[in-house]
């Protein structure tokens, strides 16, 4: 990965990213309610590494260089702290959220998905894993139930 802080030439001055970023901000909406699951693939991705903020920036910068069209969907949700803790694989991070769960019953967080055509799904998953991201394939029913919520 490139160090974005020390870059002399911006990749995107000469190249257009094939990655579109969508942030869903309409409270109560269900982004996957009418999603074309037969032709599109959805992965949720996580960064359980203990990267520094600059290293995370570098990794995200690499995502933006994907060689094929895909979309990043950012969905703010509110859920039980215990549900979120079950997903965490990094022991130190899990311990931190275990402490948080004792103080707070619900947590507001962003769930981040990467969406692409079925034809690019395997290559996309491989690229994301090379970058150190953990990828999961949520079920259709789970995705259809997701509701945008800001925890108010």
Q: What is the pTM of this model?
A: 0.79
Question: Residue 75 burial (CB < 10 Å; 0-12/13-18/19+)?
Answer: buried
- Tell me the C-alpha distance between 150 and 38, whole Å: 30
Question: In the prediction, which pLDDT does 144 show?
Answer: 97
Strands in 106-117's sheet, in edge-to-edge order, are 19-23, 70-80, 106-117, 40-46, 134-136
Question: In the prediction, which pLDDT does 110 show?
Answer: 87
| Cα atoms found within 13 Å of the Cα of residue 139, Cβ hemisphere only | 3
Cβ–Cβ < 8 Å for 74, 83: no
Spans in the chain with pLDDT lower than 70: 1-9, 81-104, 152
Residue 40 structure tokens = 């599109």
Greatest C-alpha distance within the chain: 49
Domain ranges of the chain: 16-145
- Tell me the C-alpha distance between 57 and 144, whole Å: 30
């Amino acid at each position: 990965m490139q160090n974005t802080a020390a870059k002399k030439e911006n990749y995107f001055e000469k190249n257009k990213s094939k990655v579109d970023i969508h942030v869903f901000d309409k409270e109560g909406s269900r982004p996957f309610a009418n999603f074309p699951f037969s032709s599109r693939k959805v992965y949720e991705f996580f960064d359980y590494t203990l990267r520094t903020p600059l290293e995370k920036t570098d990794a995200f910068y690499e995502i933006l260089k994907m060689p094929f069209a895909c979309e990043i969907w950012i969905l703010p949700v509110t859920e039980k702290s215990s549900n979120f803790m079950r997903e965490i694989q990094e022991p130190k991070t899990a311990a931190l959220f275990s402490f948080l769960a004792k103080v707070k019953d619900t947590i507001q967080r962003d769930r981040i998905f990467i969406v692409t055509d079925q034809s690019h799904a395997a290559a996309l998953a491989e690229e994301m894993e090379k970058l150190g991201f953990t990828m999961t394939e949520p079920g259709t029913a789970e995705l259809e139930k997701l509701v945008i919520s800001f925890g108010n």
